[in-house]
Amino acid sequence: MIARPVGAQVAPQREEMRGPIVRCPVPVKNRRRVLCVFPSYVPAFGTFQHAYRLMYGVKAFMPPQGLLLIAAYMPEGWPVRFVDENIKPATEADFAWADIVLVTGMHIQVEQIRDIQRRARAAGKVTVLGGPSVSASPEMYPDYDYLHVGEMGDATDAIVASLDASVAPPARQVVARTSERLPLTDFPIPAYDRIPFGRYLLGTMQFSSGCPYLCEFCDIPGLYGRQPRMKTPQQIVAELDYIFSQPNPPSTIYFVDDNFIGNRKAAKEMLPHLIEWQKRHSYPVMFACEATLNIAKQTDILELMREAAFVGMFVGIETPEADALDAMRKGHNNAVPMLDSIRTLNRYGIEITSGIILGLDTDTPDTERRLKDFIELSNIPMLTINLLQALPKTPLWDRLKQADRLSEDEARESNVVFLRPYDEVVAMWRRSIAYANDPENLFARFDYQVEATYVNRKVTPAKGKLTFSNLRGGLVLMWRTLLYICLLSDFRKPFWRMAKHALRRGQIDGLLGAAFMGYHLIHFTREALRGDQNASYYSAKKRTTAMAAVKPPAASKAKEPAAA
Ligand code: B12
Ligand code: SF4
């Protein structure tokens, strides 16, 4: 998409803002052209595909931090091209240009990851795969030439050294495992100059890596460690400066850390720097993050987050049932009564998005009713309700394997053999998403947020956001909301009810957020209920729509995977 040697065509002042450039320290002798390709997402509750039509130019959810970091880390003089296939597929010309093809991705993107390898191989290029999927399960990718297992570190340097020596595909697959991680304090500023921010719904940044907890189903502690490692506040400020020196910088930035308060002290020390930066620039951006629900006990941190303009948080609530939380080793969600925690977060202007898992061993015939009660009482507008899936290298996987409860049947929605009958569990999932995303229920919960959350947000100066791209984006979103929701949709009535309330209270940001989230959730749920989407976005079940976002170039059509 963007073909320029690292740093060469960046305006001088932008390059200065990037500060001292950290790169791979391996001394290289050759010039290698590097093509970074990010695979397309599988449509999910949390990727907002349907809502893009309401927005100006948006084609993808968030820029991929991991691959942007790797792009920035490449040795000086190695030109980098960056393609996010959610925006535009890598073309034959891209593959022909490259000496090396770097790919990343999650398990759910497995088909797309393999497809990129096939296209690169057809062009005769050497392929390298890193990221969370291969780090957890290298055996899933026998066809890649190099596998990078783990975070950036000694394995990355070893691969760079090999590629400098030769770009011929090695006779046997090379698996490089990071044993010494590069400290986050030594991370380069991700290659934000390679991406068209205007095509993304949100921007991304990373402050920390790792999570101290050990929830049974989660592979984060195994992949990223239990001792959270942090960037310095100065790095964060420098990244913000760099992002805001790019064309069309984002109006919301999502911190990709698994748990923003993995190290509370560090978060508390960093936040004043964010606030100071926001004040200095008249608050051009809002923030969102992921954190554990026990953040509700840290009201000093929440106050700082409010002041820094944090407006959204993804919280892995997983289940409202206390015994189920204990069983999955997520007892920390019970630290404060759940509904109190949610209200506390709302009081600081933070709207919660909640992950929910069905199909747990602790589920009973009462689980569905309890979930619906929880949805009604918590008034959380957006819930990503998924079926339990066992990820490789998790305690859950080990337990189920021992009990012979892992299924390889690709026709199923999950690889877990549930304790309750499979059809009942899937039917419960269907009824639950239908209930949660019924337009009346959904917009009633957004309506509740107007008083409970939106009015509690910091009132920030309009000046910081008055840019041409923000104005254009806002006007287009308003116009398309009017057209596609207020006039053409069958859910215009409940939407209008909420919209009038929000307008009366001057909560335009909240209103527009509800419009695009609601639009996606309602449409996505209808597709899921028709059977076009599956219940566990981790599962291997063949999806008809998964590959629709990427149309490979005509000549390589023959290489589309069977799932397409
Ligand atoms: C942000 C995020 C998202 C974003 C994606 C944004 C994006 N464009 O990347 C969104 C919200 C879309 C998302 C959705 C989902 N996500 Co998610 N997500 C994350 C999260 C929190 C942060 C990702 C990130 O930026 N990390 C920071 C970067 C720096 O880390 P990294 O990517 O691992 O990169 C490092 C190394 O891996 C390596 N590296 C990475 N790429 C490459 C490439 C090469 C060539 C090399 C050499 C090295 C290398 O270097 C980097 C620096 O150390 C992670 C958790 C996590 N800690 O990473 C989960 C995570 C990636 N998601 C996960 C899951 C399961 C999902 C969902 C399936 C959840 C769901 N049930 O709906 C959906 C699926 C989306 C879809 N339908 O396609 C899992 C993946 C499990 C796995 N092993 O594959 C993770 C690990 C969390 C978890 N355990 O639950 N997610
Ligand atoms: S708190 Fe979240 S990131 Fe940490 S182990 Fe549990 S599920 Fe994983």
pLDDT of residue 16: 52
- pLDDT tens digits, 458-494: 999 988 888 888 899 999 999 999 999 999 999 999 9
Query: What mean pLDDT comes out for the span 536-540?
Result: 50
Q: Whose CA is nearest to atom 6 of ligand 2?
A: 215
- Confidence bin at 547 (pLDDT 50/70/90): very low
Q: Has residue 243 got a pLDDT over 90?
A: yes
Ligand 1 pocket test target in 32, 52, 108, 317 with most atoms within 8 Å of CB = 108
Distance between CA 205 and CA 520 in Å, rounded?
Answer: 24
1 pLDDT above the threshold of 50 = no
Ligand 1 atom with least separation from CA of 220: 89
Question: Would you say the CB of residue 356 lies under 6 angstroms from ligand 1?
Answer: no
Domains observed in the chain: 34-53+64-177 (3.40.50)
What are the respective helix, strand and coil percentages of the chain, to the nearest 5? 45, 15, 40
What pLDDT, on a 0 to 100 scale, did the predictor assign at position 43?
87
Among 206, 208, 209, 211, residue to substitute to test ligand 2 (most atoms within 8 Å of Cβ):
211
Q: What crossing angle do the helices spanning 422-436 and 508-530 adopt, rounded to 10°?
A: 150
Nearest CA to ligand 2 atom 1: 213
Closest atom of ligand 2 relative to the 221 alpha carbon: 5
Ligand 1 atom nearest 218 alpha carbon: 89
The bridge status of strand 208-209 relative to strand 203-205 is unpaired
CA distance 501 to 449: 10
Instruction: Indicate whether 279 pLDDT > 60.
Output: yes
Q: What is the mean pLDDT of residues 155-161?
A: 98
d(CA 70, CA 178): 14
Give, using CA atoms, the residue closest to atom 14 of ligand 1: 46
Residue 336: per-residue pLDDT: 82
pLDDT at 453 over 80: yes
Q: Which tens digit of pLDDT belongs to each residue from 106-129?
A: 999 999 999 999 999 999 999 999
pLDDT band (50, 70, 90) for residue 85:
very high
pLDDT digits (tens, 9 = 90+) for 166-215: 999 999 999 999 999 999 999 999 999 999 999 999 999 999 999 999 99
What is the reported pLDDT for 554?
33
Q: Please tell me the predicted confidence (pLDDT) of residue 411.
A: 87
Question: Which ligand places an atom closest to the C-alpha of 175?
Answer: 1
CA–CA separation, 161 and 57 (whole Å): 39
Q: Degrees (nearest 5) of the Cα angle 543, 129, 535?
A: 25
Residue 5 has pLDDT above 60, yes or no: no
- What pLDDT does 544 receive? 40
Mean pLDDT (whole number) for 547-555? 33
What pLDDT is recorded for position 483?
Answer: 95
The pLDDT of residue 33 is: 98
**DSSP for residue 117:** H
Distance 106 CA to ligand 1 centre (A): 6
* Mean pLDDT (whole number) for 262-283: 97
Task: Kindly give the distance from the C-alpha atom of residue 86 to the centroid of ligand 1, in angstroms, as a whole number.
Answer: 15
Q: Which residues sit with their C-beta closer than 6 Å to ligand 2?
A: 211, 213-215, 218, 220-221, 258-259, 292, 316, 330
Provide the pLDDT for residue 149. Answer: 98
Q: pTM for the complete prediction?
A: 0.93
**199 in contact with ligand 1, CB cutoff 6 A:** no
Residue to substitute in 106, 218, 317 for testing ligand 1 pocket (most ligand atoms within 8 angstroms of CB): 106
Nearest residue (CA) to ligand 2, atom 8: 218
Residues near 426 by beta carbon (within 8 Å), at least 6 away in sequence: 387, 413, 535
pLDDT range class, residue 531, cuts 50, 70, 90? confident
